[in-house]
């Protein structure tokens, strides 16, 4: 036992003696690449597909290594390269969104939207959300950031109107033609109403203690999982205001907290420290705790 342990220590020391700073940099670089990829696809359907693909590849590789299965090994050796080539096809949407975000590196505000005009839009959205919450009128507002939302705009009714709190209140007034759907805001314009959004496929709502969330919350989570947009939801049953981003949700917000979180997302890069950074950290930290606030 002592000889085995001593041999193990000698092997470890042998390896470390030959490790250079370039080898360390190489390992850190590869680790960083995997971390970034997993961070970008977390809480999305892509992570489920990736887990299944890796499990299938490992299982097939183990079975192919068995000498008692020569025919199966031949089949795996000839089909595995094709499976690896199919991975970019399977993950094409995620790869496209990632490349788009890399290409927009350094950009925070969509289009020609300035910080001052963004805050004016936020003020109108906050006022409308507070009034809708008091009246228990359901609402779903999607605010574009960097990702293109044209595919979802085309599912609704084009409006191209200036964002005002009065307009939002009118759109979401019960039984009006546009109230049953989402409005999409791009820059300072309300682009479309009654838009159809993808429903969440992550199963987050199914495992939450709150089972009374309807299609608005599922749609808000869905759009946040496939784009970087921010969704504001007003519950028709409870009047609670929620913010959704990146597949995470904070519930039971008042007007002040809602305004602070939205401003933190649209604040220019040089001003995202301090309170803004803290709000974004609060959003991520309290995303799971939001389910308990009822």
Q: Is the dihedral of CA 192, 196, 198, 204 positive or negative?
A: positive
Residue 290, pLDDT score: 44
CATH 3.40.1700.10-classified regions of the chain: 115-292
Q: With H, G, I as helix, E, B as strand and everything else as coil, classify residue 96.
A: helix
The mean pLDDT of the chain is: 77
Residue 142, pLDDT score: 95
Taking 80 as the threshold, does the pLDDT of residue 189 lie above it?
yes
Residue 37, pLDDT score: 73
Residue 13, pLDDT score: 76
Taking 90 as the threshold, does the pLDDT of residue 54 lie above it?
no
Q: How confident is the model at residue 143 (pLDDT cuts 50, 70, 90)?
A: very high
Dist. CA 11–CA 78, nearest whole Å: 37
Residue 204, pLDDT score: 57
Top pLDDT among 138 and 115 is at 138
Residue 250 near residue 287, CB atoms below 8 Å: yes
Taking 50 as the threshold, does the pLDDT of residue 49 lie above it?
yes
Top pLDDT among 216 and 10 is at 216
161-170 average pLDDT score? 93
Whether this model's pTM surpasses 0.75: no
From the centroid of its chain, how far is CA 260?
Answer: 20
Q: Lowest-confidence range among 58-67, 91-100, 117-126?
A: 91-100
- CA angle at 256 for the pair 252 and 261, rounded to the nearest 5°: 80
Dist. CA 118–CA 131, nearest whole Å: 20
Dist. CA 88–CA 77, nearest whole Å: 20
Q: Lowest-confidence range among 210-219, 247-256, 275-284?
A: 275-284
Residue 196, pLDDT score: 93
Residue 71, pLDDT score: 78
Taking 60 as the threshold, does the pLDDT of residue 220 lie above it?
yes
Pairing type for strands 189-195 and 157-162 reads antiparallel
203-214 average pLDDT score? 58
Which fold, 115-292?
YojJ-like (1 (3.40.1700)
Residue 238, pLDDT score: 87
Taking 70 as the threshold, does the pLDDT of residue 235 lie above it?
yes
């Amino acid at each position: 036992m002592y000889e085995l342990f001593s041999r193990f220590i000698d092997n470890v020391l042998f390896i470390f003696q030959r490790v250079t700073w370039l080898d360390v940099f190489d390992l850190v670089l590869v680790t960083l690449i995997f971390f970034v990829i997993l961070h970008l696809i977390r809480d999305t359907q892509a992570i489920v597909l990736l887990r299944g693909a890796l499990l299938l590849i490992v299982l097939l590789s183990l079975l192919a290594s068995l000498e008692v299965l020569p025919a199966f090994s031949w089949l795996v050796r000839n089909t595995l390269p094709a499976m690896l080539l199919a991975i970019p096809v399977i993950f094409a949407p995620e790869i496209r969104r990632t490349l788009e975000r890399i290409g927009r590196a350094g950009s925070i505000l969509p289009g020609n939207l300035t910080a001052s005009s963004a805050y004016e839009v936020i003020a109108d959205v906050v006022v409308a959300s507070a009034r809708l919450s008091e009246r228990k009128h359901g609402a779903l507002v999607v605010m574009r950031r960097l990702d293109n939302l044209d595919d979802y705009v085309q599912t609704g009714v084009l409006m191209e109107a200036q964002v005002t709190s009065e307009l939002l209140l009118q759109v979401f007034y019960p039984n009006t033609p546009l109230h049953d759907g989402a409005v999409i805001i791009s820059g300072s314009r309300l682009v479309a109403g009654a838009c159809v959004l993808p429903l969440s496929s992550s199963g987050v709502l199914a495992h939450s203690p709150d089972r009374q969330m309807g299609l608005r919350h599922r749609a808000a989570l869905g759009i946040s999982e496939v784009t970087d947009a921010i969704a504001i939801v007003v519950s028709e049953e409870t009047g609670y205001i929620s913010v959704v981003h990146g597949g995470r949700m904070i519930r039971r917000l008042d007007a002040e907290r809602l305004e602070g979180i939205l401003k933190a997302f649209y604040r220019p890069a040089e001003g995202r420290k301090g309170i803004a950074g803290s709000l974004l950290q609060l959003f991520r930290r309290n995303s799971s705790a939001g389910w308990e606030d009822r």
